[in-house]
Structure 1
Amino acid sequence: MDPTRGALLRQPTQACGKHMEEPLRILLTHPSRRLRTALVAGTALALVLAGCSSTDSDESGSSDGSSSLSGQIVWADFGGPTNKARYAAYFDDFTKDTGVKVISEVEVDAIVNTMLTGGKGDYDAIHVGLDVVYQNQANIAKLDDSVGRDTNLPENIRDYAFGTFLVGHVQAYLTETFPNGGPKTWADFWDVEKFPGKRGWMGSPGSYDSGCEMAELASGIAPDKLYPLDLDLCTKKLDELRPHMVFYTSYPQIQQLLTSKTAAVVAGPSGQAVALKNQGLDVTISFDEAIVAPNVIAIPASAPNMTNIQALAKVFNEPERQAAFAKLTGYGPGNPEAFNFMDEETKAKIVNAPGNSSVVFQDSEARSKQQDALLAWYTKWLAG
Structure 2
Amino acid sequence: MRRTGIGVALAAALLLSSCGSGGDSGSLTFVSYGKGAYQDGQRKAFLEPYQKQTGVKVNLDGPSDNAKLRAMVEAGRVTWDIMDTDAFMAREHCGTLLEKIDVGELKDSFPPGTLSDCGVPAALFGLMFMYNEKTYGANPPKSLADFFDSAKFPGKRVMYAKDPAIGQLEAALLADGVPPDKLYPLDVDRALKVHDRIRHDLTLAQTYGQQQQAMVDNQADMALVVSARAYSALKAGGTQWKRVPTKVPVTWDVLVVPKGTRNKDLATDLIRFISQPEPGARFAELSGAGAASTKARPELNDVQRQIDVLSEDRAEEKVFINADWWTANYSKVVQSWTAWQTS
Fold similarity call, TM over 0.5 = yes
280-289 vs 79-88, greater mean Cα deviation: 280-289
Distance 1:175 1:306, change over 3 A: same
Measured against aligned partners, the alpha-carbon deviations of 1:152-204 in whole angstroms (never above 9, x if no partner) come to 34358444333521011112233232211422422110111222201102334
Matched residues, percent identical?
24
For the pair 1:30 / 2:2, whether they are aligned, the reply is yes
For the pair 1:137 / 2:94, whether they are aligned, the reply is yes
CA RMSD of aligned residues (A): 2.5
**Equivalent position amino acid for 1:381 in 2:** W
CA distance in 2, matches of 1:289, 1:195: 18
| TM superposition score normalised by structure 1 | 0.79
**Equivalent position amino acid for 1:374 in 2:** V
Distance 1:136 1:109, change over 3 A: closer
Residue of structure 2 in register with 1:96 after alignment: 52
For 1:265-284, what aligned pairs fall within 5 Å after superposition? 265-280=222-237, 281-284=239-242
Residue of structure 2 in register with 1:13 after alignment: none
CA distance in 2, matches of 1:54, 1:272: 37
For the pair 1:80 / 2:35, whether they are aligned, the reply is yes
Give the gaps of 5 or more residues in structure 1. 1-28, 59-70
For the pair 1:151 / 2:109, whether they are aligned, the reply is yes
**Equivalent position amino acid for 1:165 in 2:** A
CA distance in 2, matches of 1:195, 1:230: 25
Residue of structure 2 in register with 1:293 after alignment: 251
Shift of 1:286: 2.8
CA distance in 2, matches of 1:97, 1:236: 53
CA distance in 2, matches of 1:93, 1:183: 43
Shift of 1:44: 4.7
**Equivalent position amino acid for 2:279 in 1:** R
For the pair 1:321 / 2:279, whether they are aligned, the reply is yes
CA distance in 1, matches of 2:32, 2:264: 17
Contact in 2 for aligned 1:171/1:265 (Cα 8 Å): yes
SS in 2 for 1:137: coil
Give the gaps of 5 or more residues in structure 2. none
| TM superposition score normalised by structure 2 | 0.88
CA distance in 1, matches of 2:308, 2:15: 35
For 1:231-270, what aligned pairs fall within 5 Å after superposition? 231-270=188-227
SS in 1 for 2:150: coil
Residue of structure 2 in register with 1:122 after alignment: 79
Residue of structure 2 in register with 1:229 after alignment: 186
Number of equivalences: 337
CA distance in 2, matches of 1:376, 1:271: 27
Question: Deviation above 6 Å: which 4+ runs of structure 1?
Answer: none
Residue in structure 2 matching 1:180, options 138, 153, 177: 138
Measured against aligned partners, the alpha-carbon deviations of 1:341-380 in whole angstroms (never above 9, x if no partner) come to 4247445433211111222110111111111111111111
For the pair 1:160 / 2:118, whether they are aligned, the reply is yes
Residue of structure 2 in register with 1:63 after alignment: none
